[in-house]
């Protein structure tokens, strides 16, 4: 196992553990970096330790103690230094005092800290993606369309607020848990989406990010089995993730739902996703993630594109639109109507969104219009809409897809 591999696979968990141990985001990041540098020096000559993660955590902890002794900021923390120093040498990084919380996972504690309501929502998202999702500041900035310097500043402010205001590093108390969960789920879904359809670069499906979002959502489900919304979100993620292999061709091109090789769909994820969707709907009712999961489940159930139950999908989108109106839901509703009732119907709905100007910078609106216009044989208008979509798209794969579609109009 290489250092590079350990870094990619484990740096998120290591960082979360270190934040718990040293109680400071910046210090944890600095000493984790120091420990990896030390590994680069030592491992090639002495061999990779048996438990690389434990080695990094232990080394980083010593580095933290050294730093604290030197740093005047922490001069009064001699008690804390003594506590760390006294911690057992061989302690595994995941060894945690049990009982206080049902799930002892450092990253779960960390996500509740990152998504603390005393932080601005943008800061919650940025901090979670940076700390738990392992995204670079640049990637996060691009995902949320803000300058990198602004985002970096946002992270600095959030971390100092955590430190100075005493935002705790733990899973909230039972009576606060449910209100705190909503913002956590929203952030997890954003991480998943960033992994599923990364806004930047050639790699559309960032498997690790999706896997991470799914893993963290699973932990939340385990922690609060009675919360149906987290179960529904997990279902939604699994059902999307099941199409991962089919969504991109071997040549690296984006494949439309109707053209996907459904034998590549992950049936295990589909089965689990459907079961979770059903139980979430039964116990929690028609809440947003459950409705979206139900739509994804109907796609998952269809052996062929022609078998898709579009009428049911239209009904679910209508339900979603009535309860939780948003222009993006309306766009998806229109696309479903086009399949259920014909492209003219769908186009009429899309034109209405377009006229309101609600999604003026969203490339999928002109892309959806272009597709329906092409089906109706209105090639010139379709070409215009594809060009408009191309002027708005930022993902390379989606750009190439749109260019191919535009070229195919002839």
Q: How far apart are CA 122 and CA 166, in angstroms?
A: 19
Q: How far apart are CA 313 and CA 337, in angstroms?
A: 9
Q: Which is nearer to other proteins, 167 or 302 (CB)?
A: 167
Q: Which is nearer to other proteins, 147 or 166 (CB)?
A: 166
Q: Which is nearer to other proteins, 119 or 187 (CB)?
A: 119
Q: How far is the CB of 176 from other proteins (least distance, A)?
A: 7
User: Which structure tokens are listed for 230?
Assistant: 């987290």
Q: How far is the CB of 245 from other proteins (least distance, A)?
A: 43
Q: How far apart are CA 265 and CA 260, in angstroms?
A: 9
Q: How far is the CB of 74 from other proteins (least distance, A)?
A: 11
Q: How far is the CB of 136 from other proteins (least distance, A)?
A: 29
Q: Which is nearer to other proteins, 128 or 228 (CB)?
A: 128
Q: Which is nearer to other proteins, 93 or 172 (CB)?
A: 172
Q: Which is nearer to other proteins, 16 or 296 (CB)?
A: 16
Q: Which is nearer to other proteins, 76 or 251 (CB)?
A: 76
Q: How far is the CB of 119 from other proteins (least distance, A)?
A: 10
Q: How far is the CB of 113 from other proteins (least distance, A)?
A: 10
Q: How far apart are CA 21 and CA 62, in angstroms?
A: 11
User: Which structure tokens are listed for 8?
Assistant: 């990619």
Q: How far apart are CA 235 and CA 198, in angstroms?
A: 20
Q: How far is the CB of 158 from other proteins (least distance, A)?
A: 13
| C-alpha angle 167-171-174 in degrees, rounded to nearest 5 | 115
Residues at the contact surface with other proteins, assessed by CB under 8 A: 76, 116, 118, 164-168, 172-173, 176
Q: Which is nearer to other proteins, 119 or 320 (CB)?
A: 119
Q: How far is the CB of 137 from other proteins (least distance, A)?
A: 25
Query: Which has the closest alpha carbon to 247: 291, 297, 195, 209?
Result: 195
- The phi, psi pair for 248, rounded to 5°, reads -125, 130
């Amino acid at each position: 196992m290489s250092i590079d591999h350990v870094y990619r696979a484990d740096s998120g968990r290591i960082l979360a553990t270190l934040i718990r141990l040293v109680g400071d985001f910046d210090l944890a990041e600095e000493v984790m970096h120091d420990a990896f540098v030390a590994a680069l020096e030592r491992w090639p000559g002495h061999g990779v330790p048996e438990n690389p993660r434990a080695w990094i955590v232990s080394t980083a902890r010593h580095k933290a103690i050294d730093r604290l002794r030197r740093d005047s900021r922490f001069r009064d923390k001699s008690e804390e230094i003594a506590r760390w120093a006294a911690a057992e040498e061989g302690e595994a990084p995941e060894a945690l005092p049990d009982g206080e919380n049902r799930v002892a996972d450092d990253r779960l504690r960390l996500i509740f800290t990152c998504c603390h309501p005393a932080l601005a929502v943008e800061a919650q998202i940025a901090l979670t993606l940076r700390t738990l999702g392992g995204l670079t500041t640049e990637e996060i900035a691009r995902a949320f369309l803000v300058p990198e310097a602004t985002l970096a500043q946002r992270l600095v402010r959030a971390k100092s607020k955590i430190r100075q205001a005493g935002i705790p590093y733990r899973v909230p108390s039972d009576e606060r848990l449910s209100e705190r969960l909503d913002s956590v789920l929203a952030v997890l879904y954003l991480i998943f989406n960033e992994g599923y359809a990364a806004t930047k670069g050639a790699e559309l499906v960032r498997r690790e990010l999706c896997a991470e979002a799914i893993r963290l959502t699973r932990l939340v489900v385990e922690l609060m089995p009675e919360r149906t919304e987290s179960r529904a979100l997990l279902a939604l993620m699994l059902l999307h993730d099941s199409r991962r292999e089919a969504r991109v061709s071997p040549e690296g091109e984006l494949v439309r739902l109707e053209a996907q090789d459904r034998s590549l769909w992950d049936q295990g994820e589909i089965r689990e996703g459907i079961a979770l969707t059903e139980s979430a709907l039964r116990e929690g009712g028609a809440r947003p993630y459950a409705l979206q999961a139900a739509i994804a489940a109907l796609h998952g159930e269809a052996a062929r594109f022609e078998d898709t139950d579009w009428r049911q999908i239209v009904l679910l989108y209508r339900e979603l639109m009535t309860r939780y109106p948003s222009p993006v839901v309306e766009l998806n509703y229109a696309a479903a109507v086009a399949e259920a009732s014909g492209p003219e119907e769908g186009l009429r709905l899309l034109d209405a969104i377009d006229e309101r100007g609600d999604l003026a910078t969203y490339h999928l609106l002109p892309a959806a219009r272009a597709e329906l216009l092409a089906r109706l044989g209105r090639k010139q208008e379709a070409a215009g809409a594809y060009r408009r979509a191309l002027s708005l798209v930022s993902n390379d794969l989606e750009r190439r897809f749109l260019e191919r579609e535009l070229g195919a109009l002839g």
